[in-house]
Amino acid sequence: MKTDTRKVSNDELLAIVKQKPNRRILGLFRFHLTIYNLYKKESDDILRKTVGEPPVIFDSLLTNKTEQQLYLLMKNRGFFEAEVQTVKKNRKKKVNLTYRIRSKQAYIVQNIKIDCADKDIGDIIYHSIDEIKQLEKQNFNTDRLNKLRETISKNIRNNGYYFFSKDYVNYTADTINKEYAVDITLHILPFREKQKTISNTDSTVFSLHKNYKMGNIYIRQDFEPSVPNLAGDTLMDKGGIYFIQNGKPRFKPAILSYTLLLNKDGFYSQTDHELSYKRFNSLKVFKYTNIQITKSPTTSSDNLLDCYVYLSPLLTRSFSLEAEGTNTGGNLGIAGNVSYQNRNTFRGAELLNIKLKGGIEAQPLIIRSAENSEIINNLPFNTIEFGPEITFEVPKFLMPIRIDKFSKRANPKTIFQTSYNFQQRPDYNRSVFQTDFGYYWNESDFKKHIISPIDLSLVKLNPSPTFKQLLDSINDPFLLNSYRDHLILAVKYSYIFNNQSKPKQLHYYYFRFNFETAGNVLNTISKVMDFPLDELGSFEFFGIRFSQYVRSNIDFRYYIKQKNATTAFRFATGAGLPYGNVSALPFEKGFYGGGANGMRAWRVRTLGPGSLSDSLISSRIDQIGEMHIEGNIEYRFDISKLFKGAFFIDAGNIWMLNKNKNRPNAEFNITRFWRDIALGTGFGMRLDFGYFLLRFDLGIPLKIPSSENPYLIKPRFNAPPLNLGIGYPF
């Protein structure tokens, strides 16, 4: 494909081409065609069909169609005088096709006028004038004009014009007596309605469009599609909504009327209609939702619409038993849980989940001693973990935020969660109690906010005598603080942007920003109450030191979708600063490198910090830092419907923020940045079962910061880690 303009992307042009060469892996070799040619026996038919790809046979008719459609595309992009030429070259039994496009000069939209006889609709269109004017001084583009028709139509429907559609918005393009310029006129057509004449023939009647208000609203919360006409009692809510049900209503009327955005006596809105569907589905208590709008049969007014909401609820209570394979940073295990769910705890569509989890896992030992050698030799898994978890979700904001002070369109939620987790390892036992509550809401379809005013964690750690002796011998205050009991009282905020759900999106983004701070309230209370200090100069609550820190991180991802392939980019960075009461970040709040979802050429928590020597790593002490920078590129391609492949490259490391004599070269220093950056590559095989994806990634180190020559880039094939993961790494 050769073109002399960048105004039309190659992706758009290539999408039109009817015949394309057989796929190449990484643009190098035609793997699928090779498989097709290798396996020709009937016994190999499955492999040939699932993985193989037949050769593309040249078809001159399809080439002509491609040429015609390329011209139409250029014309629709404003290049009315474009020329498309196909150059064909024969090479033995192969044909090389080159589509040459001479765009010539583009036609520019000079003015956009509105032709509308209805003043009320004209006023609505005027509110979209900025979007209309954006098309002026731009290339003529039919896609943008059609999108503008949809936008205008939706804005009009949002103002009560239920029977309006984009078919009533047409445009004409005038190029007469204009040099490479176009005048666009948007025509708003009158309402068309077919009526029977006296002679019983069809006649089309034209009139002004009517805007409609909502009349009666009926909500049936026990609807069964198999018995659509089941009779029921009708009750009226204070808001003028009729509720139809048999017997005692399962859901309180207030939560249903709160979820529905269409209001009695208010103008119909297409946006509110669509959002109401999403809001009912987001409650997770209905298996079927149908919102029908019909013209009201009342004779008092001819501009009323009635709304019928049909809801089919899921079972209120359910029990489940699940077993699963786990992969925590590359450590394999087996887990199971038994859970109870109540989807309507207090008849307000509240979700209550009670779960009891347990599992075993194979974790690398920090030390091997006589006291745990018997366990190591007799059991493939050396870590036992179990504990309960309770989650309670309310589909609105609770204290101290009033519902009426916040837009219902934001789909607000309040979530309470509490859990206890006990972990037994040969090196230590750890107990973690956590409780928090937070507010969730959507700013738009792609933007979400999460605030957790209270996030409380209590971590108690009981090290084995041998492990404690090892920590004392290392004499590193950072490590000693990381493996001590601690209390965390934090405030958290997260912002998430994700436009992956946008239809037909070829390029999409994901961005997450997290911020949290902890210990300030407890520190203030301790000073006001004049609590005594412990032997290390720290305050304690209930005999446990509390952590004080500020921490933030970002995660940015960019995806480029192609046919049968995706290129994914990620950049992640963050930092945590301990201060005040404790001089080290809690272990679970530190950053780490390596593992199945990060630097895959290193095992989890074995990379860094900085260019720190491997002497600690050889003792299997988990390495954590206070700062993190990482970048990843991954090319994912289809091998067959089940099998997917990938090639990747990872770069990054973790660092400390300040110098530490016990950890030389672990601190971040901009002059040593390239020296400290680790570089790894590798390839992966994925099994896509539809409902989940099993991933095998083999990582190969290329540049090792702690090596004798940290600037040397070469592949190291001695024992590269094989990472097992569930789902994509990012």
Residue after which a domain boundary falls, among 182, 207, 232:
207
CA distance 561 to 11: 11
338 and 467 inside one domain: yes
Return the pLDDT at 404: 55
601 and 726 inside one domain: yes
383 and 452 inside one domain: yes
H/E stretch holding 95 reads strand 94-102
Residue after which a domain boundary falls, among 313, 329, 355:
313
CA distance 687 to 645: 9
What are the DSSP calls for 328-358, one per residue? ETTEEEEEEEEEEEES-TTSS--EEEEEEEE
CATH number at residue 633: 2.40.160.50
236 and 381 inside one domain: no
344 and 398 inside one domain: yes
The domain of 374 spans: 319-474
Q: Tell me whether residue 663 is in a domain.
A: yes
The residue type at 358: G
686 and 627 inside one domain: yes
Return the pLDDT at 582: 87
Q: Tell me whether residue 541 is in a domain.
A: no
The residue type at 205: V
Return the pLDDT at 169: 93
Helix residue ranges, H only, 247-360: 253-259, 270-282
Q: Tell me whether residue 707 is in a domain.
A: yes
Q: Tell me whether residue 37 is in a domain.
A: no
Q: Tell me whether residue 556 is in a domain.
A: no
Mean pLDDT over 436-460 rounds to: 93
328 and 304 inside one domain: no
103: tokens are 């765009």
359 and 456 inside one domain: yes
Most confident among 358-372, 465-479, 704-718 (mean pLDDT):
704-718
292 and 329 inside one domain: no
* Burial track 3-34 (b if 16+ CB lie within 10 A, e otherwise): bebeebeeeebeebbeeeeebebeeeebbbbe
* Burial track 332-356 (b if 16+ CB lie within 10 A, e otherwise): ebebebebebbbbbeebbbbbeebe
What are the DSSP calls for 152-210, one per residue? HHHHHHTTT-TT--GGGEEEEEE-TT-SSEEEEEEEEPPEEEEEE-TTS-EEEEEE---
Residue after which a domain boundary falls, among 442, 474, 506:
474
Q: Is 598 exposed, middle or buried (0-12, 13-18, 19+ CB in 10 A)?
A: buried
Mean pLDDT over 298-326 rounds to: 86
Q: Note the pLDDT tens digit of each residue in 144-188.
A: 999 999 999 999 999 999 999 999 999 999 988 888 999 999 999
Q: Tell me whether residue 407 is in a domain.
A: yes
Return the pLDDT at 122: 92
357 and 409 inside one domain: yes
Most confident among 122-126, 272-276, 616-620 (mean pLDDT):
272-276
Q: Tell me whether residue 514 is in a domain.
A: no
298 and 338 inside one domain: no
* Burial track 553-584 (b if 16+ CB lie within 10 A, e otherwise): bebbbebebeeebbebebebbbbbebebbbeb
Q: Tell me whether residue 9 is in a domain.
A: no
Those residues with Cβ within 8 angstroms of residue 553's Cβ, 6 or more apart along the chain or in another chain: 513, 514, 572, 573, 574, 575, 591, 628
**Quick one: CA dihedral 340, 343, 344, 346, positive or negative?**
positive
CA distance 71 to 166: 26
Per the model's pLDDT, the better-predicted residue between 45 and 703 turns out to be 703
602 and 724 inside one domain: yes
CA distance 2 to 100: 5
Total of domains in the chain: 4
Q: Note the pLDDT tens digit of each residue in 235-285.
A: 766 677 888 888 788 899 889 998 999 999 999 999 999 999 999 999 999
CATH number at residue 283: 3.10.20.310
